[in-house]
Amino acid sequence: MNAPAERPPAVVATGSLRDRLAVLVLVCAAALLVPLAQPLVAGRVFVYNDLTWFHLPMRFLYQQALRAGDSLLWTPAVFSGFYFHGEGQTGVFHPLHLVLYGLLPLRVAFGLELVANYVAAFAGMAWFLRRLRCTRVAAGVGAMLFAFSGFMLLHHHHLNMVAVMAHLPWLLAAADLVIAGDRAAERRAGFALVAIVVASGFLLGFPQAMWWNALALAPFAALRAGETGRWRALVPCVVAGAIGLLLGGIQIVPTADVVARSVRVEVTRDFALSFSLHPWNLIQLWSPWALTDGSYTARDHPYLHEFGLYSGALLPIALGWVWLRRRALPDRRGLIIGATGFAAVMLLLALGRYGGLAEILVHVPVIGALRAPARYLVLAQFALIVLAAIAVDDLVAIVERRTPRPAGGLVVAWVPAGLGLITLAALNGHLLSLSPGMFGSVAEAAPAVALGVAIALCVTLAGRGAGWALAALIVLTAVDLGAYGIGFVRREPARSIKQLIQGVPPAPPAIEETYASAPTSGPYRSNLLVMRGYRLTNGYAGLFPATRHPLDDEGSDAAAGARWRFAPHGTRVPLINSAARIRLLDAGGQETTGIARLLIDRPGHLAAQIESQAGGIVALTERFHDGWTATANGAPVAIVRVADDYLGCVVGPGAQIVELRFAPRSFRVGMLLSAIGALLLATALIVWRPGPAPS
């Protein structure tokens, strides 16, 4: 049904066409990267959502600690003290972060970190698709589709999540080297790279994304082992992954520690299934702006970045194309079936409470604590992008006359465009009376539908052998990705760091006077005030500490020593009767006479001069964690809880110097595991000598 009666003659100089198209892809990808890099050149940073609520302030604290030689494990600047490294999302021991924030100005390091995610995603996907024997053109288009996909751009403000997902194609390509590499040196390099990529992903501190990477790696490795008949090669893949897990121990174990002390320790079913993709969002596959504001949710906050399903008109067209052409692509059949099935399962998981499958995962230990099923969309998009690369490869072969043109009218290329036009008329044009306010206007939805029609036309003409249509397809796909994803990124203008904090009065010079309660709304919400020198008694993190007393109420502010309460627009109100930074208490918890004066008040390191006739408890407004140790005149003393949530230590009578340091067991265990992983990796690379690849 798909092949004509005779094969057209081959043409000459196909390499020249490929070269031109490959250059065009690079130009388009560079054009998409420019808007992401522009703030870096202009002295600004992107500010949307978590970028200024969390990531920029935390990296500010990280850079301060790096340059001052302070502990990277603990910060007193949020939650009155927090296991900063264990929370993970700053990736404090990732080599790239150590270099960026250790050497460069904050603004430059922050901008480069964001841009590097997309460069890494593009390069990794291009290499992965080349490993799958795609032409440079198809590999470049696939890389562009992945790096600038809807998920990767809509989640640009989740820096470390995007960074971990940029590891995915590198991980799969490295595994493919181990399984399908022709030379022993290739397989050993792949072994090392699997371990390093796994470790790098964990060091970035977003373990949920590492779960997604593992979900993709397992079926892909099995598929490649089956295709090549090298099932035994799965063993070194597993071993390399395990070594990578050990290498990441310096982050994994502290994160487990913070999770165990966070509100996530008791996760409800509703929390785990929050941000489930409502089925109405499937309309986005062919009409990205059919729904009001781009997406629909019945129960959650309507964040487009969580529910944005669209990743280019080419993806649904390519899905139909590869199935139409599957008989003409016998060497791709296993990959087509596998990628399609994987995309379907991931989409079902993304539906969360509406799909049923995610309900099973709620009962799986550890995995059941992960929220936002809609984020499985990244894996569905990844699988569809692989199919799109196969489709582009087939179109290149048709244009070059290396393969027969498909017979028939290629109706399959027009199915998404047709659905887009029907949706435009029936739902956006209100021919059908459905939920009012649920669908956008025709003017909002029409441009994307028109772009989908143009892309379908290009696919059809390229399928008929028109080389110019293939070039037009590449350009229109870049325009499509830019209009949707880059348009979202640029919704909120980039600003300078000075502009971000200029409305807030600077913190007083005395450390005790810097403690403040941040607003929970407005431009200065969450952690941003730390960039003006404040230490916050509340704050924002992915893993909120499980406190005995609620954060943000007046009693907690007083116990934490807050001197100020900030309004949403940056004005501050003084608070009275708050606890002193350090004080002496008797056994009953009442303040007693004596001298308690802080000599050192640095992240993870406190020292005080104490004089007490009867001894008692040295009480601080630092949050309690049993990773703290204390000495009095060099002799160990016990640490205790003060007012349930805060840090103290027991001292005897007399004059003494009390010193407290944060050095949790979880960090020491994590360091040991990482050292073992490094030793095992070095040993494996020295000892393991892969045999010749089976023919």
Do 318 and 387 meet the contact criterion of CB atoms below 8 Å apart?
Answer: yes
Do 578 and 515 meet the contact criterion of CB atoms below 8 Å apart?
Answer: yes
DSSP β-ladder status, 564-566 and 515-517: parallel
List b or e across 27-42, with b for residues whose CB sees 16 or more CB atoms inside 10 angstroms: ebbeebbeebbebbee
DSSP β-ladder status, 616-623 and 605-612: unpaired
List b or e across 114-127, with b for residues whose CB sees 16 or more CB atoms inside 10 angstroms: bbebbbbbbebbbb
Q: What is the pLDDT of residue 385?
A: 98
Which of 406, 430, 465 is the C-terminal boundary of a domain?
465
Q: What is the pLDDT of residue 3?
A: 42
In a domain, 117, yes or no: no
Q: What is the pLDDT of residue 588?
A: 85
The DSSP bridge partners found for residue 635 are 632
Provide the domain limits for residue 614.
582-663
In a domain, 606, yes or no: yes
Report the candidate in 184, 112, 483, 442 with the shortest Cα–Cα distance to residue 292.
442
In a domain, 317, yes or no: yes
Distance between the two ends of the chain, CA-based, in angstroms?
34
Which helix (H) or strand (E) segment is 344 a member of?
Answer: helix 333-350
Q: Give, in order, the Cα–Cα distances in Å from 534 to each of 30, 662, 672.
A: 40, 21, 35
CATH of the domain at 637: 2.60.40
In this structure, the answer to whether residues 306 and 447 fall within a common structural domain is yes
Q: How far apart are CA 267 and CA 595, in angstroms?
A: 44
In a domain, 448, yes or no: yes
Q: What is the mean pLDDT of each run of 10 residues along the chain (695 residues)?
A: 41 71 98 97 96 97 97 97 96 98 98 98 98 97 98 97 98 97 94 98 96 97 96 96 98 96 84 94 97 93 95 97 93 96 97 90 84 96 98 96 83 95 94 83 96 97 95 98 97 95 94 95 93 96 89 88 94 94 92 94 97 94 97 97 95 96 98 98 93 66
Which of 435, 465, 495 is the C-terminal boundary of a domain?
465
Q: What is the pLDDT of residue 695?
A: 57
At 314, the amino acid letter reads: L
pTM value is: 0.94
Which of 465, 496, 528 is the C-terminal boundary of a domain?
465
> Would you call 167 exposed, middle or buried from its count of C-beta atoms within 10 A (0-12, 13-18, 19+)?
buried
What total of structural domains would you count in the chain? 2
Do 195 and 679 meet the contact criterion of CB atoms below 8 Å apart?
Answer: no
Report the candidate in 534, 523, 539 with the shortest Cα–Cα distance to residue 52.
523
Report the candidate in 642, 462, 478, 388 with the shortest Cα–Cα distance to residue 148.
478
Report the candidate in 141, 181, 148, 187 with the shortest Cα–Cα distance to residue 166.
148
CA torsion, ordered 521, 44, 147, 474, to nearest 10 deg:
120
